Structure 1
Amino acid sequence: MAQAALLVIDVQQSFQHRDFWQEEDVPAFQRHISALIEGCQAKAIPVVDVFHVAPQGPFALDSGWVKRMDFLQHEAAFSVQKHVHNALTESGLLPWLEAQGIDTLIISGIRTEQCCETTARVASDLGFKVLFVSEATLTFPMTHNGVTLSSAELIHRTETVLINRFAEVVSVEACLARV
């Protein structure tokens, strides 16, 4: 029987202090990730909080913003800090997952195309089954060479590059039905 864990990646107050923060997609994100967390807890699936920490700015520990966003009230089974884009490198998470017999990772969190996608890719390379719950991820528009990609376009791009390679892309409902 597969053993799963839910990763709640970088859902921290630090993001609310970045210049790209937008509220537009936040209410739907909050509903989806809250439903995913509640559903996983009801199935006794451990929830792991992952926090990004940087030497300075809003992601620095001394900023006071490296803590859960206020809407999150769950009890985490484990919590780690990371200093790179993926949650598995040098955070202490990988040995914990191995000790728990976890073979399936459910990915949720902030910056769909960055820390969530990178964690999914690394997890797949390490042999984990990955369920990427894109509706329980959040990102913000990005501009490069004068072209702006919307949040929806970035999420679609992430789903496109992950599906059938690194992860199974699922809705909250489908994820909870699978685990």
Structure 2
Amino acid sequence: MSKSALIVIDVQDSFLHRPFWSDVELPRYRSNQLALIAGAQARGVPVVYILHQNLDGDGPFSAASGFVKPMAWLPDAASVTFTKHVHNAFTDTGLQAWLDARGIEHLIISGIRTEQCCETTTRVGSDLGYEVDFVSEATLTFAMTHPLSGRVYSPQEITAKTELVLHERFASIRTVAAVLARLDAEVCSHA
């Protein structure tokens, strides 16, 4: 039984209805996300889908919107799906109990948005004692404008900042290929 789990965060239709949505980076992200999911499944690693639902309001993240569901291209691959109401995937979701009941010690983080729910889940997961691999090439984010300077930061700049602040503090920054190689090595060491 694998001691790893792949966490796929907020890959949901809600984002398609946000004003900042851009599909410029989507082909690269989708390819990497699908490769990571397929690789995890092939190695017997559970895949956990996390969806975000706001408890108040009527926007695209509300239950009433009908958009709090996986994007159409995401495979029906989840071992389990949890719904969160805050930025991290642990608070009030049951995720930690589910992971602990299965002896999971290692988390592989992917999904949407790199610097928001993916980064926050990484930090909380690390603080809870999990070993975390952050697969930034299997995360997606969007350009953002600084509130004081007005400077626009590209998705690549935001991702680089996230990698910088997480690496060797809260996670190891890995590629899809490196994570899958690590999973293969774990299987061989337990054989």
TM over 0.5: yes
Deviation for aligned residue 1:74 = 2.9
Corresponding residue for residue 188 of structure 2: none
Instruction: Out of 107-116 and 69-78, give the one that drifted further.
Output: 69-78
Residue from 63, 88, 98 that aligns with 1:96: 98
Q: CA deviation at 1:62?
A: 1.2
d(CA) in 2 for partners of 1:107, 1:74: 18
Which residue is equivalent to 1:4? 4
Give TM-score scaled by structure 1 length.
0.98
Over aligned residues, Cα RMSD in angstroms? Answer: 1.0
1:128-143 equivalences under 5 Å are: 128-143=130-145
Structure 2 residues not aligned, in runs of 5+: 184-191
Matched with 2:43 is 43
Counterpart contact for 2:112–2:140, Cα < 8 Å = yes
Hey, what does 1:33 align to over in structure 2?
33
Identify which of 142, 146, 153 aligns with 1:149. Answer: 153
> What SS class does the counterpart of residue 158 from structure 2 fall into?
helix
Identity %: 55
How far apart are the structure 2 equivalents of 1:78 and 1:2? Answer: 15
Amino acid at match of 2:175: S
Tell me how many residue pairs correspond in the alignment: 179
8 Å CA contact retained: 2:2, 2:44: no
Give the distance between the partners of 2:77 and 2:179, measured in 1 at CA: 20
Secondary structure (helix, strand or coil) at the match of 1:95 reads: helix
Structure 2 length as normaliser, TM-score?
0.92
Structure number with bigger Rg: 2
Gapped regions of structure 1 (runs ≥ 5): none
Per-residue CA deviations over 1:35-65 (Å, capped at 9, x if unaligned) read: 0000000000000000000123100111111
Shift of 1:73: 1.4
Q: Post-superposition shift, 1:2?
A: 6.4
User: For 1:43 and 1:141, how far apart are their aligned partners in 2?
Assistant: 34
4+ runs of 1 displaced by more than 3 Å? none
Indicate yes or no: 2:60 matched with 1:58: yes
Give, in whole Å, the separation in 2 of the partners of 1:91 and 1:113: 20
